[in-house]
Every structure is written in C-alpha cells, then in structure tokens.
Amino acid sequence: MSEERSFEELQRELDDVVARLERGDVPVDEAIALFRRGEELYRACVERLQAAELRIEELSPSDTADA
Amino acid sequence: MSEHPGHKPQPQAAARKVYSVSGFNRGIARTLGKLPAIWVGGEVTELRRNESWATVFLTLKDPKTGATLNVTIARRTFDRLELELEEGETVHVAGRAELWELKGELGLRATTIERVGVGAHLVALEQLKRRLADEGLFAPERKRRLPRVPRAVGVLTGADAAARGDLIATIGRRFPATKVVVCESRVQGRGAAEAIVVALRCLAAHDEVDVVVLARGGGSFEDLLPFSSEPVVRAVAACPVPVVSAVGHEQDTPLCDLAADVRAATPTAAGALVVPDEQELRAGLEACRRRLGLSVRTLLDRDAAKLARTGDRLRAAPRLLLERRRSALDRSSARLQTLSPVATLGRGYAIVRSGGQTLREAGAVATGDALDIELASGSLGARVEEVKP
C-alpha cells in the first residue's frame, strides 16, 4: 500500500489520524480502525528510515536529453 | 662637494641656475598641464573615499606589468557616477596628468570613470534582472516549499569535487536513507548555460527527484555568469520540482538565486535544507506514536466509563420496577383492608357462628347450643343461656 507513497505523505496521514483521534469525536469501532491504521503508518515511516545506505545515482545528460 | 676624477669641473655654485623644490614642481606641473586629456585603462587596486574629503583617491594598476598610477577625482563627481566601484575592477579613467606639487608625485586628475569588461556585463545583468523581475519570475509567491523528506535529491554540479562532496556529505550525515541523483554538467565557459538547462531538465524528469540543488562552488564573476544567463534563470523558475541554489559564495548573487525557491549560502547549507535531520524525524515519529496510543486509550476509557454508567442503570431498572409495583400493591391492599370483616371486628364487632353457620337471628338457636364467637383477635367457644327472639 505504501510503496509508491512518499515518506511525507505517510507522515502527513499519520498526523491526520492522530489529530482525528485526539479530537475524540469518532465512534469506538472507527477509533480502533484508525489506531491500527496509525500503527501501520508509523511502521511504514520507520521502515523508510531503516534503509540506512546513502545511494548515489549518476545521471548523464547525454543519455536522456532529447534534442 | 668633492671632485670626481674624470668629470668636468662643475660651474661655481654662485653661477648656477638653481630651482627651489616648489619651483621645480610648479614648472613640471605647468608643463604637464599642457598635455591633452586622455583615457587610461587599468585595475582599481586601492580606493579611498571619505565623507570628509573633497577628493577620492584610487590607484590604477596595469594588470600586465604591475605598474601603478595615482588617480584623484572630485568626490562629488565620483559620487554622481554611482559606480559602487570595488577593488579589482577594470575601469577606463578620463583625465589629465597632474603633479602633486607638495610631494612631487605624478597622478591623473580624473573627470570621469567608466567600468569596463565586468562593468558591461553588470549593466546587461542589471537589465536582465529588471526584465525578469517585471515578469514576476522572482516573486515571493512563486516560491515553493521544499519537500520535508524527498525521495531523491537531484544534484547539478560541475566537475567541482568540493561543492559536490560537501553537499553529499551533509545529506549523508543528516539523513542517510536519502537517494542522491547526480548530474554533472559544464558549468562555466562556452556552452555552459545550455548544458545547465539540459542537466536541470534531466534531473527534474527523474521519477524520484523531488528537489534539485544547484551545487557550484565559488568562482570569478565571469565563471559564475552562466548561472545568471536568461535560459538558466528561466529553466530554474520553470523547474517542476523546487530548486535550491547554492552557487558561488555568500557575496555572489547570480540571478538563478533569485529564481530558485530557496537560496543556500554554501553546498553544506543546501544539504541541511533539502533533507531533515534523521534524529529529529525519529523523535517526531515516536511522539506521534505516543499520541496515537494515548488518544485511542482516552477514547476507549471514556467509552468504557459511559458503558459502566449504562450498566448501572440497567441493573437498577428491575428493582425500580419492583418498588413501583410494590407500592401499587400496598395501595390495593389498603383498599382491600377497608372491605375486610377483619377490620370491622377490629372496631369491637364479633362474628357468631353455630354449626358453621353465621347467626343472624336469635331464634336460629336453642338454649344449650354451642356457639363459636370470632373476635378481631382469637375466638371463643360458648353456650346459649337464654334465647330472646
């Protein structure tokens, strides 16, 4: 679900989930679903940080530049 | 004065034509004053201007030989030129040769100064800047926010190892999980502007690149010119992802700086702008998770409390019902009581029976018959002594 989404998007959704729960106007069933979603997002964010290696890709303008 | 062998004897001191120093200087000055006004070109090396002086002093240097010439110009004239002259700039100075009589120093009394070379570039640059500014290319509302965590950072760099190295080292230290896409380009000299435009497009077209850094270390004014060229400035402004300009040193302001979304003083500063600090990010995530747990617990606790109250009410309901029924029963029983003979007996009446039949008239029994007398409390067995019908 989260592969193509950016870290920023995931983090923003996590913030939204927390904000909704903190507002406290959600029914219990939904609250539990939101909590699960929040945990999932948290884990997805942390996973992104695990790839600890700085990757460097060299791009040559002549390869891709269209005339 | 001693005599030098081999030299002709000098005229006697009294017979010489001797000039005073002032006289000599004055004479030379007068001769110099007859020379025509001319232009002299050179590099400004020392510029001394003081509000309290009527004259501005500067030294012109010949860049080839190192020869120098003192130049003076009236401060009011100099100020009117609005040159903002810096040392090291090449200028043409119009003026006449002049001798400072007191010191016997030769100089050039300037009537005007024009900037050349860089100066001409500067004028063109200033015009371009104004034109692009009028178009709104540098408007603050055009500036985009940088992504907090880019999927990949695009780096446009020359063969300049230092700028590239500083930038990548900073990114790696702050946020090791970053991907960096480097595109090397010619950044100075002929064709540089075109190459920069192509490289920028190329980086922006990369799927993951969310922000581009122009990483170009310091250089001479001319070296940095491509970053002020119209195609590059326009390409920066039109770049689909935000651009951070880290070109030249602090004091340089190439036009790409104005078109970029953010300007960084150095490649290191650019590195700090494009990626977050991982430690801070982790701390933020942990805080978020704590709030997540806390908020859901608060919500569930609140719900549980509500449920408990409902349960209490539920349990209390049958008792309430029973009590209500009981009081209704009590009322019925009171009404029943008033109709019951027991209550009549309570007031002192008695029920007299004989052979199981309630007696209503005396004639129904005979003397000696057994009677059963029921009182409010208890009953009596008796016999008839006399009958009075």
Interface test with B, best of A3, A40, A47, A59 (most B CBs within 10 A): A59
Please indicate whether, in this complex, the C-beta atoms of A32 and B168 are within 8 angstroms of each other: no
Which segment, B8-17, B122-131, B153-162, B237-246, is predicted with the most confidence on average? B237-246
List the single residue in B148, B282, B293 with the smallest CB-CB distance to A49.
B282
What would the pLDDT profile of B141-191 be if each residue is shown by its tens digit? 999 999 988 989 999 999 877 899 999 999 999 988 889 999 999 998 888
pLDDT of residue B12: 77
Is the per-residue pLDDT at B270 higher than 70? Answer: yes
Average pLDDT over residues B311-328: 83
- Mean pLDDT, chain B, whole residue set: 88
Average pLDDT over residues B287-306: 88
Please indicate whether, in this complex, the C-beta atoms of B177 and A35 are within 8 angstroms of each other: no
- Give chain A positions within 8 Å (CB) of B300: 28, 31
Average pLDDT over residues A59-67: 59
B151-275, what's its fold?
Rossmann fold (3.40.50)
pLDDT of residue A52: 60
pLDDT of residue B355: 86
Please indicate whether, in this complex, the C-beta atoms of B147 and A8 are within 8 angstroms of each other: yes
pLDDT of residue B159: 81
pTM: 0.55
List the single residue in A35, A52, A61 with the smallest CB-CB distance to B176.
A52
Residue B42 — pLDDT band, cuts 50, 70, 90? Answer: very high
CATH code: domain B13-116 is 2.40.50.140
Residue B60 — pLDDT band, cuts 50, 70, 90? Answer: very high
Please indicate whether, in this complex, the C-beta atoms of B281 and A64 are within 8 angstroms of each other: no
pLDDT of residue A28: 82
CB of B146 within 8 A of CB of B244? Answer: yes
CA atoms within 13 A on the CB side of B52: 0
pLDDT of residue B148: 85
Please indicate whether, in this complex, the C-beta atoms of A42 and B293 are within 8 angstroms of each other: no
Please indicate whether, in this complex, the C-beta atoms of A48 and B177 are within 8 angstroms of each other: yes
Which of B154, B178, B165 has the alpha carbon at shortest distance from B239? B154
pLDDT of residue A4: 67
Residue B345 — pLDDT band, cuts 50, 70, 90? Answer: confident
Please indicate whether, in this complex, the C-beta atoms of A61 and B282 are within 8 angstroms of each other: no
Rounded Cα gap, residues B217 and B69, in angstroms: 34
Average pLDDT over residues B18-31: 93
What are the boundaries of each domain within chain B?
13-116, 151-275, 277-317, 343-383
Is the per-residue pLDDT at B389 higher than 90? Answer: no
pLDDT of residue B135: 95
pLDDT of residue A64: 47
pLDDT of residue B274: 95
In the block, tokens 């029963």 appear at B329
pLDDT of residue B5: 55
List the single residue in B149, B183, B296 with the smallest CB-CB distance to A59.
B183
Could you report the predicted ipTM of this complex, rounded to two decimals? 0.77
pLDDT of residue A66: 44
Please indicate whether, in this complex, the C-beta atoms of A14 and B296 are within 8 angstroms of each other: no
Nearest residue in A to B283, CA atom: A46
Residue B11 — pLDDT band, cuts 50, 70, 90? Answer: low
Rounded Cα gap, residues B106 and B109, in angstroms: 10
Please state which of the ranges A14-18, B58-62, B189-193, B227-231 shows the lowest mean pLDDT. Answer: B189-193
- Give chain A positions within 8 Å (CB) of B199: 61
CB of B131 within 8 A of CB of B190? Answer: no
Q: Which residues of B touch A (CB under 8 A)?
A: 147-149, 151-152, 168, 171-172, 176-185, 195, 198-199, 201-203, 205-206, 210, 278, 281-282, 285, 288-289, 291-293, 295-296, 298-300, 302-303
